[in-house]
Chains A and B, each alone.
Chain A
Amino acid sequence: MRLPIAAGAATMAVTIALYPLFQGGAWFWASLGAVAVVTAVGVPVSRYSLPPWLAPLGQAVAIWIYLTAVFSPEKAWARVVPTRESAVGLAKMLVTGFADIQRFAAPVPAKPAITLLTCAGVALIAIVVDVLASRTRRAALCGLPLLALFTVPAAVATEPISWPAFILAAVGYLGLLVADGRERVGHWGRAVLVRRSSVTSRAVADVGPLRLSGKRIGLTAVVLAILLPALLPTLEPSPLFGFGVGNGRGKGTNSISISNPIVSLRGELSLPNNSEVLSYTTTDNLPRYLRMYALDIFDGQQWTMTGSSGLPEDRISQEPLPPPPGQSRQVPAVTVTTKITVSPAIRGMEFLPLPYPPSRVQVEGDWRPDRDTLMVFSTEDTAGGLTYTVVSDEPKPTAEALRSAAAAPREIAERYLQLPRDLPREVRDLAVRETAGETNPYERAIKLQEFFTSKGGFTYTLAAQGHDEQALTDFLIRNRAGYCEQFAASMAVLARVLGIPARVAVGYTGGAKLGERWQVRTHDSHAWPELYFEGTGWLRFEPTPAGLTGQGSATVPAYSRARAADAPDDQPSAAPATGSDSSDPASGSASNPRNRRPDLEYGGSGPIVVEEGTPLAARIGLGVVAAALVALIPAMLRWQLRARRRRVSSRAARPAVVVAEAPGAVTVRTSLWHQATTATWAELCDTLYDHGVSRGPSESPRALAVRLAAQHGFDAPAEEAVTRIATSAERMLFARTPGENGPTREDLRVVRRALAASVPRGRRIRAVLLPPSTLARARAVGTGLLDVFDRLENLRLTGRKA
C-alpha cells in the first residue's frame, strides 16, 4: 500500500530534474499525471494482494488510455477509449517527437509531440520502478531506472543540474527505501507490551532508534554526496555542482575538452530571451566579428577542434601574442583596438571572444593563446564580468594580392585540407560545378560564397536538422535550409574540396550599435568559415544570409564581395598600413621566442592540454605536504586549545580570595580561580581521552583521581597532582568555598607525563598527532546538526497531528 505511492513519489522527484530540458511546464503536468495513473493502478494491486503481474499490465493499459485521452482525444472513441486511429496518431506523434528532439537543442519548446515523448518515457520508468519496488520487493534496484532518468538532463543539458534538484531526487529515492524498510519491519508484527505499568508509552520505542539511525545515515549520505564532489576534485572555488556530462570543461583539471561549440551555438540561438553577452567599442567605430573557437576537424558529420596547447610562458600579460599564421607584413593591415566588456551574467565562458587576428590582449587572469589558431582560453578563469582590450592587425588585402597568393605551406595544407574519405560524391561534384570556370582559389571562394548567399536558393531557418551522416548532403543538395552552422560548415567543406585550407570559426557577429557601444546578444551567436590565403593568413567569409530573413547582424566582408574586392578602399578606415621592411616573416619572427613555428609536438589531436610549469614530482610533493597539513589540523587545534587553557590556568595561579559574610551565606568566588579550574579540568579530561583512558558517566572527579593513580601506577607526585586537580574541580562544583590551592600548570604536566608513560607508544603518538578529543568534538558538532534535523522533523510531525 505504502510502496506504490513511495515508488511514484520517487519517480516524480527524479523527473523534476528534467526541468532544464524543456520550456514551459506542460511536460511536468503531463508527466505528473502519468505517474499518478501508474500509482493509482499500483495501489489497489498491493492493497488487495492481486497477482503481481497484473500491475505492470494494468499500468501499461492505463497509461495508453491516459496518453490517448490527453494527446489525441479527437480520434478516440468518447475521447478516451483508444481506437486504431488514435493509436496511429500517437505513434505518428511519437515519431515527430523523436525528430523534434533531434532538431532542437535544450531547452526544447513545449511541443505536444515532445511532451508526449517525455510523458511516455516517464511513465515507462514509473512502471519499471513500481514493478521493482512493489512487485519484486527490490527497492534498492529502483536506483537503476531512476538513475537512467536522472542522467538524461545530465547528458543533454550543457547547464549542470542544480543541486536542489539532486537533493530532491536523492530524497525521493531514500523515501522509497524507507518505505520498503518500514514495510518489512511492519511484517514483524506489533511490539509486545511487557511492562505492567502503563506510565510510559515507550512500547514502540524500540523501533525508534532504528528509524532514527536510518534517517541519520540517509541524511549523512546525501550531505556527503553533495559536499564531497564540491570539495574533492579541486582546491579552488568552482561552481558547486559540476557534475553532468554536458559540463565537460572540468575545472581544475589540466585537460579540458570542449563539449561542442556547435551544440551550444544552436542552444544560444534558440534561447527565448535575447540577453546581452558583451559590449565593446572599437577605435574605428566599426563592428567586428568576435571569434571564440576555431574548429579544424571535419569528421563527416560535424566540425570539432583538435588539441592545442597553451604554454605557461605564453600566458597573456603585456607581451604580444604569437604572430597570425600566414600573415605577411607586406600585406597592408589596419590596427584596431577593441575594448570588450563581457556581461557578468555570462558563466563558464572559457574562451575569450576576440576579433581576428589579435596581436595583443590586456586581460586579468591566466589566459593563454593557442599558437596555431590564436584562440585565447583559460582553464582557471572565466570571462564573465571581465573587461579586456584587444589590439588586432586586420589584413586589408587587395584582390590582386589574394589572386596571386602562393600555395599554402605543407603543415597548413595537411591540417586544413583533410576530408573524410567517404565524403559523398555529389558534394565534391557540387563544389566543382559551382566554381566551374574559375581556377584561382580566391575566385573560387567568392563563387562559393555567392552560391550560398544568392545563387543557391538557400533559406535561413533555425529549425534545422542536426548533424548526422545525412545532414551535409541534406543541406547542400536537398532542402537547402539551415542556419549559420550549416552554412559555415558546408562552405568550409566545399572550400576544402576545392583545395583551399578552411576551418569553421564560432563566436559572435558584430552585434548592433547601442549608443556609443556595440552590443552583442545571445542571438548574435554565429559560425562562419575562415579560409587561408598565403601571405594574408586566415580570412573570414560569410555564406549565411543576413538581414531579417537570416542571421540579423551578419555582414559580408569587403574583400569577398565579387566586384567590390577590386576596390579595397571602400571602408573608411582601410588605410593601408605601412609594409614592413623585413624580408621574410619567418626569419623576422625567429628572434622572438614566442614565434616558434607550430611544430609537430603540438600538432597532434587530442584534448587541449595546458602545460603546467611545475613538474609532476613537485606537484606530488605539494599534494603530500597539503595532505599532511590537512591531517595535522586536529593536532593543531588541540595544541591551540591546550595553550589557551594553560594561559587561563596560569593567570589564576595565586589562591583565590574568598569573602564570607556569614556562615552559610553566599560566598564570592574569584572568577579567575573558577576559570582556571574549569580549564584545567577540561584539559585533564581531554588528555585522558587522547590517551584512550575511558571515563564512566558516573565517575566523580575524586573517584577518577583514585582510579587513575591506581590503574596507571602513578608515583607520589603524579598522584598528588591529579588529586589536586580533582579536588579543585570537586570544590568548584560542590563546595561552598574554593580550596586553598588551585591546580597549576605543573600539575597538568606531571599528570600528562605520568599518563603517557603508562600507555603504549601508539596511543602516545596518536594523542599528539591525531588527538581523539578534537575528533570527538567534531563528531559532537555533527551530532548536534543531526539533532537539529531530527527536531525539525518532530516539528513537522507534531504540526501534522495538531
Chain B
Amino acid sequence: MAVTHDISPRLDDLVVTAHRIRQAIESVIEGKGDAVRLTLTVLLAEGHLLIEDVPGVGKTMLAKALARSIDCPVRRIQFTPDLLPSDITGVSAYNQQTREFEFKPGPVFASIVVGDEINRASPKTQSALLECMEEHQVTVDGATYALESPFMVIATQNPIEMEGTYPLPEAQRDRFTARIAMGYPEASAELEMLDVHGAASPLDKLEPVATTAEVRTLIEAVRAVYVSQPIKKYAVDLVTATRQSPELRLGASPRSTLQLVRAARAHAALAGRDYVIPDDLQDLCVPVLAHRLLPSVEAQGQRRMPEQVVADLVRRVPVPEVQTK
C-alpha cells in the first residue's frame, strides 16, 4: 500500500534532524533525555518553555545548548529586580545624524530567547516579555515590530519558595506551553559530568546542527500531523477533568487545550508518527497542564501537588475506545 502523502518524507527528515539536535544537546547535559525531548517538543509546537528548579542543576545549560545547536540568533536576558521593560523590548533613541528617532531592538528580537531567573524581575518587566510571547510582536512608541519565526522563550526560574522572587501570576504562567523540572542528575551521570566538564565547558565545542530554515520546515511538518476527532475529544475531556476536580481551585484554560494538542502533534512527529495517539497526550499532560493549576485548600493541606493531581486524572479519564456495535 502506498500512502501518497508528502508528510512522510518530511517526517523522516524531522526525525533525523530532531535526533541530531537531541544528540548535540545531550553531549552537553547527561542523563536528561526526557527534559531534552520535551524542550524539542515545545520548540516544534511553537511554544515557550518554563524550566523550574533549584540553582545549579543545568537549567541555563539546557537553554544554551538548544540555542547553540540551532544556527539561529540567540539572546540571553538575566532578569534582575531592576530590569526595565525597555531592556527587553528595545528603545527608540534619537539619532543625531538623521534627526529621527530610531528603534534599537532589544534582546527579545531573536529566535531563541533565554530568560534567566525570570521570577527575579519585577512584574512590570515580566509582563513585557510575556506580551511578546503571546503576540509574537513588540509595540514600542506606537510602532509594531514583528518577531522572527521560530520564536521561543526558554525561561528559567527558581522555585517560588526561594528568597527574593516575584512569583509569576497564573495568567502569565498560562502562556508557557510546558514547564519542566530538571531534577538532580543520577550519580553516574554526575560522575561523567565531572570528567567531561572538568577541563573545559563542552558548550564551547558545540557546533550548530540545524538551520533556522530547517527548523521552520520541521514546524510546518508538525502542523500537518493528523489529530482525529476522538483525540480532540479526549484532550477536551482531560482539560475538563481538571476543571471539575475537587482538588483544584483553578482548572486549565482553553488556551491550554490548544497548546496541549499542539504539543501532542510535535510529540507524535518526534516519534515519527503522522497522527496523534492518546499516549502523546498522556505523556504531555503533566508538563503542559500542571503549572497552570491551583490546588484547592484541601489538596494543599494534604500536600497534593498539581502534578500528582493531574497524573491521577490522566489515569482516570478513559481513552477513546473502539466502538463495537
B side interface size, CB within 8 A: 34
B253 at the interface (CB under 8 A from A): no
CB-defined contacts of B316 to chain A, threshold 8 Å = 697-698
B323 at the interface (CB under 8 A from A): yes
Give the shortest distance, in Å, between A723 (CB) and chain B (any CB). 13
B315 and A678 contacting across the interface, CB-CB below 8 Å: no
CB-defined contacts of A696 to chain B, threshold 8 Å = 315
CB-defined contacts of A195 to chain B, threshold 8 Å = 246, 296
Closest residue of chain B to A732 (Cβ to Cβ) is B322
CB-defined contacts of A664 to chain B, threshold 8 Å = 224, 226
B6 at the interface (CB under 8 A from A): yes
Closest residue of chain B to A727 (Cβ to Cβ) is B277
CB-defined contacts of A200 to chain B, threshold 8 Å = 244
B3 and A658 contacting across the interface, CB-CB below 8 Å: yes
Segment 64-114 of B: residues with Cβ below 8 Å from A: none
B274 at the interface (CB under 8 A from A): yes
B318 and A698 contacting across the interface, CB-CB below 8 Å: yes
A736 CA to B276 CA, complexed, in Å? 10
B213 at the interface (CB under 8 A from A): no
Give the shortest distance, in Å, between A698 (CB) and chain B (any CB). 5
A737 at the interface (CB under 8 A from B): yes
B319 at the interface (CB under 8 A from A): yes
Closest residue of chain A to B5 (Cβ to Cβ) is A663
A side interface size, CB within 8 A: 33
A733 and B320 contacting across the interface, CB-CB below 8 Å: yes
Do A698 and B246 contact each other (CB < 8 Å), given the known contacts A733-B322, A734-B276, A735-B226? no
Closest residue of chain B to A706 (Cβ to Cβ) is B279
A681 CA to B296 CA, complexed, in Å? 40
CB-defined contacts of B276 to chain A, threshold 8 Å = 734
Tally A-B pairs: CB < 8 A: 81
B4 and A735 contacting across the interface, CB-CB below 8 Å: no
A735 CA to B11 CA, complexed, in Å? 15
B322 and A681 contacting across the interface, CB-CB below 8 Å: yes
Segment 300-325 of B: residues with Cβ below 8 Å from A: 314-320, 322-324
Closest residue of chain B to A659 (Cβ to Cβ) is B4
A729 and B274 contacting across the interface, CB-CB below 8 Å: no
B322 and A697 contacting across the interface, CB-CB below 8 Å: no
Give the shortest distance, in Å, between A665 (CB) and chain B (any CB). 10
B278 and A736 contacting across the interface, CB-CB below 8 Å: no
B231 at the interface (CB under 8 A from A): yes
A200 CA to B320 CA, complexed, in Å? 26
Segment 653-671 of A: residues with Cβ below 8 Å from B: 655-658, 660, 663-664
Do A702 and B277 contact each other (CB < 8 Å), given the known contacts A697-B316, A734-B228, A734-B230? yes
A698 and B296 contacting across the interface, CB-CB below 8 Å: no
A448 CA to B215 CA, complexed, in Å? 124
B171 at the interface (CB under 8 A from A): no
A734 and B277 contacting across the interface, CB-CB below 8 Å: yes
A633 CA to B319 CA, complexed, in Å? 32
CB-defined contacts of B275 to chain A, threshold 8 Å = 731, 734-736
Contact string, A508-533, partner B, CB cutoff 8 A, digits 1/0?
00000000000000000000000000
Closest residue of chain B to A661 (Cβ to Cβ) is B4
B297 and A196 contacting across the interface, CB-CB below 8 Å: yes
A663 and B319 contacting across the interface, CB-CB below 8 Å: no
Do A197 and B3 contact each other (CB < 8 Å), given the known contacts A698-B282, A700-B319? no
Do A735 and B317 contact each other (CB < 8 Å), given the known contacts A663-B5, A700-B277, A702-B279? no
Give the shortest distance, in Å, between A795 (CB) and chain B (any CB). 26
Give the shortest distance, in Å, between B316 (CB) and chain A (any CB). 7
B231 and A734 contacting across the interface, CB-CB below 8 Å: yes
B315 and A656 contacting across the interface, CB-CB below 8 Å: no
B162 at the interface (CB under 8 A from A): no
Segment 710-763 of A: residues with Cβ below 8 Å from B: 729-737, 740
A697 and B319 contacting across the interface, CB-CB below 8 Å: yes
Contact residue among A194, A657, A700 (Cβ-Cβ distance under 8 Å from B1) = A657
B1 and A698 contacting across the interface, CB-CB below 8 Å: no
A575 at the interface (CB under 8 A from B): no
Contact residue among B1, B5, B244, B323 (Cβ-Cβ distance under 8 Å from A655) = B1
A590 at the interface (CB under 8 A from B): no
A697 CA to B298 CA, complexed, in Å? 26
CB-defined contacts of A677 to chain B, threshold 8 Å = 322
Give the shortest distance, in Å, between A655 (CB) and chain B (any CB). 5
CB-defined contacts of A658 to chain B, threshold 8 Å = 1, 3
A345 at the interface (CB under 8 A from B): no
Closest residue of chain B to A679 (Cβ to Cβ) is B324
A735 and B324 contacting across the interface, CB-CB below 8 Å: no
CB-defined contacts of A735 to chain B, threshold 8 Å = 226, 228, 274-275
Contact residue among A657, A663, A682, A703 (Cβ-Cβ distance under 8 Å from B322) = A682
Segment 37-72 of B: residues with Cβ below 8 Å from A: none
Contact string, B235-263, partner A, CB cutoff 8 A, digits 1/0?
00000000010100100000000000000
B15 at the interface (CB under 8 A from A): no
Give the shortest distance, in Å, between B250 (CB) and chain A (any CB). 9
A120 CA to B164 CA, complexed, in Å? 87
B203 at the interface (CB under 8 A from A): no
Contact string, B131-162, partner A, CB cutoff 8 A, digits 1/0?
00000000000000000000000000000000
A700 and B3 contacting across the interface, CB-CB below 8 Å: no
CB-defined contacts of B1 to chain A, threshold 8 Å = 655-658, 740
A657 CA to B231 CA, complexed, in Å? 24
Give the shortest distance, in Å, between A290 (CB) and chain B (any CB). 60
B7 at the interface (CB under 8 A from A): yes
A699 at the interface (CB under 8 A from B): yes
CB-defined contacts of A734 to chain B, threshold 8 Å = 226, 228, 230-231, 275-278, 320
A664 CA to B224 CA, complexed, in Å? 8
* Best-surrounded residue of B231, B277, B323 (most CB of chain A within 10 A): B277
A678 and B298 contacting across the interface, CB-CB below 8 Å: no
28 contacts between A and B (CB under 8 A): A197-B249, A200-B244, A657-B1, A658-B1, A663-B7, A678-B323, A678-B324, A696-B315, A697-B318, A698-B314, A698-B319, A703-B282, A729-B322, A730-B277, A733-B228, A733-B322, A734-B226, A734-B228, A734-B230, A734-B231, A734-B275, A734-B278, A734-B320, A735-B226, A735-B275, A736-B5, A737-B3, A737-B5
Minimum-distance CB pairs A-B, first 7: A697-B318, A735-B275, A700-B278, A736-B226, A682-B324, A734-B228, A681-B322
Residues of B within 8 A of A (CB): 1, 3-7, 224, 226, 228, 230-231, 244, 246, 249, 274-279, 282, 296-298, 314-320, 322-324
Task: Apart from A663-B6, A700-B277, list 4 A-B contacts with CB within 8 A.
Answer: A196-B249, A663-B7, A733-B320, A736-B228
